[in-house]
Amino acid sequence: MKVAVVGATGLVGREMIKVLESRNFPVDELIAVASGRSVGETVPFKGKEIPVVSVENAIRQQPEIVLFSAGGSVSLEWAPKFAAYGGKVIDNSSAWRMHDNIPLVVPEVNGHVLTADDHIIANPNCSTIQLVMALAPLHHAYTIKRVVVSTYQSVSGSGKKGIDQLMSERADLPHQMFYPHQIDLNVLPHAGDFDMYGNTTEELKLTNETKKILDPAILLTSTVVRVPVKGGHSEAVNIEFKNDFTIPEVKRLLGGMPGVVVVDYPEANLYPMPLMAEGKDEVFVGRIRRDTTCDNSLNMWVVSDNLRKGAATNAVQIAEILLSKKLV
């Protein structure tokens, strides 16, 4: 089994390699791929240093599974070339997510949609993954009408440049500005590019991807905010259901969802936080309570490590499904 990681020297690419190792994915040969300026560098895997090669070199080796985390333009150019010989591409960019013929997959939610004909598979946005993990069991039970989400997204969601700006500002060191404003001791209601209606691309991803994964009838609006946290995304979620619920039953459904952990003990000051989620693959849900201002409505707080379940782990889990269903 040859597995390639395209973008192997980036934050998510390195995390993908760690997850492949920690989950004991059956890799006989790891092919680390990056841009020309990184060729010749190495990345660690199972106690060895794996040399970084070009994407052309990787295609010649014809890996069976290719994990992409190298940006949308790279994926649009090269993913079809891996797919052409029969490789299975799992792409972490936004390039393929909304294509009608490309599955957008969170394994615990809709892994069943994968077929032998799928050679390019899209990994959802990090904030979408943790959101639908929490929404899915509740939608199946009560039918969601509308969702209002406010996100508190860490700088690692922007890659290394976001982390560098935050940590440099915190240490009062000279630095390049990645964000349009200071991020340390500040919050930015801005992630992605603004459209003509004032929505950002990150906000539109939440809406469109949730509809594609769960149900196109769900109405979803969001405000995405970048916060001075190094890693881990948080979301304040308000849900209006078609049918009524009880809080104990909501907690039971969430607790029974694979990959979701309920942490909801406010009397002991226990609730999900980014530090709790750091380095973990689970989605943590707490602050679960009824919204008394609207019928059949619920508030909850959802936290996950955006580099793990929000990106790398979800991609590797998709690869695991392909193996288990003998699709590769």
Strand order through the sheet with 297-304: 219-226, 144-153, 233-241, 297-304, 283-290, 260-262
For residue 260, count other CB atoms closer than 10 A to its CB.
21
Instruction: Give the active site residue among 126, 175, 181, 294.
Output: 126
Cα separation, 298 vs 296, in Å, equals 7
Token pair belonging to 137: 């069991």
Is 294 among the catalytic positions?
Answer: no
Percent helix, strand, coil in the chain, to 5, is 35, 25, 40
- Nearest in space to 65 (alpha carbons), one of 27, 92, 14: 27
Strand ranges inside 23-143, DSSP E? 29-33, 42-45, 48-53, 65-68, 88-91, 120-122
Q: How many Å apart are CA 130 and CA 19, to the nearest integer?
A: 18
Active-site residue list: 126, 233
